[in-house]
A and B are shown apart, each in its own frame.
Chain A
Amino acid sequence: MAGTLAADGLKAMHPVHPIVVLDYRVRLPGMLFIAVFAVAHFGGRRQSPLLVAAMVLTALWPHAAYLLAKNAKDTKQAELRNLLFDSFIVGCWMVAMSFSLWPAVAMAATIMNGNLSVGGLRFAGKGVLAILAGVLVTGAFLGFHPVFASNVATTALCIAATLILTSMFGIHSHLQTARVYKAKNDLAIQNQQIQEQNRLIEQARQTALEARDAAESANRAKSAFLANMSHELRTPLNAIIGYSEMLEEDARDSGNAAFAADLQKIRSAGKHLLGLINDVLDLSKVEAGKMKLYLETFEVAGVVEEVVATAQPLAEKNGNTLEVRCAPDVGQLREDITKVRQVLLNLLSNACKFTEKGKVSLDVTRENDVTGTWVVFRVRDTGIGMTPQQTGKLFQAFTQADGSTQRKYGGTGLGLALSRKFCVMMGGDINATSEPGKGSIFTMRLPSDVENFDGEATSIHRTGKAPMPRLSASVPRPSAGPTMLVIDDDPAACELMRRVCTREGFDVVTASGGEEGLRLAREKRPSIITLDVVMPGIDGWTVLTKLKADAELSAIPVIMISISDEKSRGLALGAANYLVKPVDRDRLAGALEPYRGEGAAVG
């Protein structure tokens, strides 16, 4: 019975305090002993109904106490209440057994031991009060008839009960201590295991770091080799192209058409080869993470017109018609114009190459969706098309639709791989859909302003990895750009600098004189300072000298801007750069390039 209930308790839904189980195990024999004392004490004498009721309570109470405590919200508090009731019962029995010395000592010692070990000193005090309550209540019914002596059987039983019950507490406490020690040892072992695992993880991390370094240096070596080799290949190729072009001109001038045609073939083959070498170089740069974006704002229609003019002869060569539809609202793009041009030309020339006597069309539109504003270029052709398998491999480097395509149409298969990489760098992408025999559609999507693309583009040239377009793309960038201090006494010049540099991604602060400039430099701690030389009051040279003499400001790069060219003087005094007025936007942008922060800098 005890085992079942205890096991039940351990399995209870909410945790049952261990003293509930311990007390149950002690209370069960304890109450039994008390009942036996009573029988031994009273011997064969006739029992009063009150004593019978008390015997019944003794038989039921341990189980009731256990269930009460187990199902209580706070199992420990409930069990303490049970112990007080135990104490009360003990008080009752002491009176009922006429204060017989041994039963009284056995019962009091055991319950006090239990109260002390479970609830501590204060609780034991409450226990004493409970015993007294039991004594008074029972005394009121039965009266006090103290007979301190007890018979031999009762005495023997009391001694046995005292020993057994108190030793149960002792054993329990011993087991608890043993359990604490075991837990401590287990913890130490686990700790050791964790340390060992940490060591292994650290080792693995080191190995991985070394492997990464090795891979990076191998990749750098590869890129350097490719870049170098491309250069070496290009030099003789330049001669081939140049001389064939010259001879072609001469041949035409002297009316030798056959020579001219052959020379033209040499030249165009040379140019083709040059294009391939450039593709290899570009791809190796992208893969080495060295490809940079040079952003500028430009009219989309202008670029489209340029590219179409270049693609027109290619279309005519295969008897294709080229249709261009550029939406009137397409507006401007802020992107790397060279790369946009290159990708667009690649798409159009592919379409022309794989289409004969058909139609190639280009549609340019501006589209809005949740991710922002996009400029979409759609190139459709009515050419040979591709199977889904071929489309799948389309954008992988060194892969063409299949080997036979390579033989028939030429090319390295780098063009589309490169195009996609460029688009991804620019925050966009290219996709293709196609049907064999019907034609293909290539769609290039570019964000209308790659800079508002959350600075993702910045990380590209470092990692060479593709950024994922983010939902926040449409959220305007907060003006968290690097701070730039413009010191110039001419308000018009200040305003011009503010306009241009804000567009370049700087948070611009202006000062109209040297004193103010120095004060703002100390207050704002700008990332860069532009400094006019000729100013009333303290001039630019003095300001520069003071800036460089101040330990806290000396690290801020200063770009001198002046009408007179005294570059060497500026550099000698510690200026980072020197521009001569009037400064055009490109030159200024170039000079500011190294100081543009993460938010805006691309390249």
Chain B
Amino acid sequence: MMKKDRKHLSVSAIKDGTVIDHIPAEKLFNVISILGLDSIPNQITFGTNLESKKLGRKAIIKIADKFFKETEINKIALIAPTAKLNIIRDYEVVDKRQVEVPDEIIGIARCMNPKCITNNDSVITRFRVISKPRISLRCHYCEKITDQEHLEIL
């Protein structure tokens, strides 16, 4: 009788790169698309619907050889404010970053007011963040508020 060998696919720790943890499970694919992870050549592994005391179900993404700029992190913060970043160098966590929504958001979100100049002219959007963690943004131009429900990432 032939012995059946079970193949193990191990998700190994990454040598260098970024681990994004504590993503709300339902936001995983948004995060992937916002960060453009579906179109980069880096090795990426992700898990979703993992148990989490805080979030109920969380997702995690490991991206090898990728380190995010602050503006990219800001984009995650808007839809997954609970996310945490672990920066890995030579298998060690060298830095942990709590993703935080900045006080000002430039060029990331769309103003929900169709009559706003930013939706009618080539003007870069700009907002003051007036509440966190349930996000609401006040447009620097038309002064209207865009809330979490209507938040659209550009």
B is bound to A: no
